[in-house]
Structure 1
Amino acid sequence: HKAEDDYLLTTKLFCGMCGAMMFGECGTGRNKVVHHYYKCATAKRFKTCKKKTVRKEWLEDLVIAETMKLIQDDAVIDAIVAEVMELQDQENTTLPFLEKQMREVENGIENMLNAIQAGVLTNSTKSRLEKLEAQQKELEIRIAEEKIARPRLSENQVRFWLTRFRKLDPNVKSHRETLINTFVNAVYLYDEKVLI
């Protein structure tokens, strides 16, 4: 907890050997220089994992460099945009259901108006039409609320938002945090490789 601010990969970095979370630590060397590194929680607490500690600066620089390399690639941006567009279609199940109900209500109103136009006007047709119109107004409000709660983004909006990250300076701490928080889900650290 004490290291959350200084260690950018806290909660996202895992040991490749045992799967435990790795956390930030620091220690002072013989020449009074403070060293920052990440250590496997299992290796520290139980001494059952053989994962070596890794220098903080080296690992964070590597993750930032790989992330920047990915967002500079137009093919990667295109793939992310396509995925976002697909997720937007899948995510909201309420809006399509409300729109379907609205079509059914509009068809019902149309049928009632056709019946009235054909001369079939009774108390029940009038009350049924009023109910359908009230239902239509309620559905209009619910559809509008749903669209406001979950606005649909266009491909250009998503692409613009993603390409803004290309302008971030990887040497500025707040920019580094933004890159990691936005694009990095997890990092698995092995002795011989890093899986981002």
Structure 2
Amino acid sequence: MHYYCPTAKSKKGCNKKHVPKDWLENLVVAKTLDHILRPDALKYIANACYEIQLKDKAGDEEIEFFWRRIAENKRALDNTLKVIESGVETMTLPLRLKELEMERLQLHNELKAAEARKVILTPEHIEFMLLQYVEKGEDE
């Protein structure tokens, strides 16, 4: 297998020779290891990734949404309980209470899932993960 200039095939002036695929790919990996995956560069990349995570507000909005819904649900539960405690009896109050309690459980589960998606990796974790690529690249 070889890499070649597409314009050379159509005779549009490129006189570059075909390059062996394995040789070029090994060269790219070696240069990447030499120039990009150095300890100082890895530390810089890890810190930059960490800062990006801190600035990312996408997950925060979802978490805030669930906290608002939980607060609304709590108010509705409290109001339903007050009506029941005041002595008003209807067939729909126990059903509404059960419905609100189920909604509360569901909201808490969804909040936990949203918080789990918003995990922030430390620079050390990121650097460790990048080092796995360095070691794998050296092995190959």
TM-score, structure 1 length as denominator? 0.49
Q: What is the deviation of 1:68?
A: 0.8
2:108 aligned partner: 140
1:79 — aligned with what? 48
Q: Which residue type is aligned with residue 75 of structure 1?
A: Y
| Alpha carbons of structure 1 residues 79 and 94: separation in structure 2 relative to 1, 3 Å | same
CA distance in structure 2 between the aligned counterparts of 1:82 and 1:151, rounded to whole angstroms = 17
Match of 1:159 among 121, 124, 127: 124
In structure 2, C-alpha distance between the alignment counterparts of 1:60 and 1:51, rounded to whole Å: 26
Do the aligned partners of residues 80 and 132 (structure 1) sit closer, same or farther apart at CA in structure 2, a change above 3 Å counting?
Answer: same
Q: Say whether residues 1:46 and 2:10 are aligned partners.
A: yes
Shift of 1:90: 1.5
The answer to which structure has the higher strand fraction is 1
Pairing partner for 2:95 from 124, 127, 132: 127
Contact 1:115 1:121 in 2 (8 A): yes
Q: Distance in 2 between matches of 1:141 and 1:133?
A: 13
Instruction: Please give the alpha-carbon distance, in whole angstroms, between the structure 1 residues aligned to 2:13 and 2:96.
Output: 72
DSSP-derived class of the 1:122 partner? coil
Identical-pair percentage: 12
Structure 1 partner of 2:139:
172
**Alignment partner of 1:43: what SS?**
helix
1:98-109 counterparts in 2 under 5 A? 98-109=66-77
One-letter amino acid of the counterpart of residue 7, structure 2 = A
Where does the alignment leave 5 or more consecutive residues of structure 2 unmatched? none
Q: Distance in 2 between matches of 1:100 and 1:154?
A: 23
Bigger fraction of residues in helix: 2
* Distance apart, 1:135 and its partner CA: 1.7
| Count of matched residue positions in the alignment of Structure 1 and Structure 2 | 132
Q: CA RMSD in A?
A: 3.6
Contact persistence 1:81–1:159 (CA under 8 A): no
Helix, strand or coil: the match of 1:127? helix
1:92 positional shift: 7.8
Q: Any idea what SS the aligned residue of 1:171 has? A: helix
Kindly indicate whether structure 1 or structure 2 has the higher relative contact order, using CA contacts under 8 Å at least 6 residues apart: 2
Query: Any gaps of 5 or more consecutive residues in structure 1?
Result: 4-24, 26-37, 174-196
User: Who is 1:111 aligned against?
Assistant: 79
Offset of 1:63 from its aligned partner? Answer: 2.6
Query: Would you say the 8 A contact 1:105–1:135 is kept in 2?
Result: yes
Mapped to 2, the partners of 1:51 and 1:59 lie a distance apart of 22
